[in-house]
Amino acid sequence: MVQTDIQPASPNLTNFDLKSYLEVKKEFVEQSIDKSLPIQEPEKIYEAMRYSLLAGGKRLRPILCLATVELLGENENIAVPTACALEMIHTMSLIHDDLPAMDNDDYRRGRLTNHKVYGEDIAILAGDGLLAYSFEYVAQETVNVSADKIVKVLAILGKAVGANGLVGGQVMDLDCEGKSDVTAQTLSSIHRRKTGALLEACVSSGAVLSGAKDSDLQRLSTYAQNIGLAFQIVDDILDVTATSEQLGKTAGKDISAQKATYPKIWGIETSRVKAQELIDNAIAQLNIYGEKALPLQAIAQYIINRTN
């Protein structure tokens, strides 16, 4: 667990209406990403990119970015292109993760995976297209933000995707398949890259666009590192406790693919306790911001209560 100075908890957190907050934000994100990627020639690749990008999902990453900007008192419009780009990157990673050469999954977000519909060749290219476009979109569409901040955001995104982020985490994950001696420490270092890096980028890019001070950036990064690890612990728990219908993808895949998981190392109950400790710490990081932190704090609590 990563900790900095902790302030007392806000009593208003339990009263915060997260359901309505997420509904409004999700709708806004859906409209923004729909507009971000109109179909052009060659239609086939744009259709494949849109098939996965607009397939639903919780939209947690763009919402985290927008909520960070709001916490810091800025207008969320400065971060809409970045929020869309984060979802494009996340979708790209799901498309590639599902490929036969990786996790070989048939379902994602309740529908057939990209390669099942368009074939492996187009699915690989759809992921590549989304990744490239995410950077183009931030650079072209971000307004009312200075160029140096936009460059910083592009660097944050590149770092989150690269060999020390998603790519590195995926390589380590593949390396550990079938091994029975993977430690909790190794598992955490996989998931800091594979899951945590992009979640942290959501918050830190929002902070950079908002012109956050170093101390705010540090606090928000610590929040994100904690929710990132908790998110993956919950993901591993859901893989054994939820149904394929609830998850929108094949449940029980971690066991059949002989993946190292937190429930395998700690058991389900201890995994839940550790996830809650991480979430408590994430929430505590933001108490200093008072009411303005309620959305991000409630999202942290949602991460542990989620069922998909």
Binding site residues, ligand GRG, CB under 6 A = 57-58, 60, 90, 93-94, 96-97, 102, 109, 127, 131, 161, 166-167, 170, 194-195, 235
What's the min distance (Å) between Cβ of 87 and ligand GRG?
Answer: 8
CB contact at 8 A, 296 and 71? yes
Q: Of the two residues 212 and 260, which places its CB atom closer to ligand GRG in the complex? A: 260
What's the min distance (Å) between Cβ of 116 and ligand GRG?
Answer: 16
What's the min distance (Å) between Cβ of 24 and ligand GRG?
Answer: 17
242-266 burial string, b = 16+ CB within 10 Å, else e? Answer: beeeebbbbbeebeeeebbbbbbbb
Helices 166-176 and 184-191, packing angle to 10 deg: 150
Q: Of the two residues 61 and 219, which places its CB atom closer to ligand GRG in the complex? A: 61
Residue nearest to ligand GRG (CB): 57
State the burial class of residue 307 (Cβ atoms within 10 Å of its Cβ: 0-12, 13-18, 19+): exposed
Q: Determine the Cα angle at 306 with ends 281 and 12, to 5°.
A: 50
Q: Of the two residues 58 and 292, which places its CB atom closer to ligand GRG in the complex? A: 58
Close Cβ partners of 52 (under 8 Å, ≥ 6 residues apart): 91, 94, 95, 108, 109, 114, 126, 130
What's the min distance (Å) between Cβ of 88 and ligand GRG?
Answer: 12
Q: How many CB atoms lie within 10 A of CB 215?
A: 11
What's the min distance (Å) between Cβ of 93 and ligand GRG?
Answer: 4
Tokens 């190794």, residue? 186
Q: How many CB atoms lie within 10 A of CB 124?
A: 17
What's the min distance (Å) between Cβ of 28 and ligand GRG?
Answer: 16
Q: Of the two residues 57 and 206, which places its CB atom closer to ligand GRG in the complex? A: 57
Rounded CA separation 293/269 (Å): 29
Q: Of the two residues 176 and 288, which places its CB atom closer to ligand GRG in the complex? A: 176
How many angstroms separate the most distant Cα atoms in the chain?
A: 55
What's the min distance (Å) between Cβ of 274 and ligand GRG?
Answer: 17
Q: Of the two residues 55 and 268, which places its CB atom closer to ligand GRG in the complex? A: 55
CB contact at 8 A, 64 and 199? yes
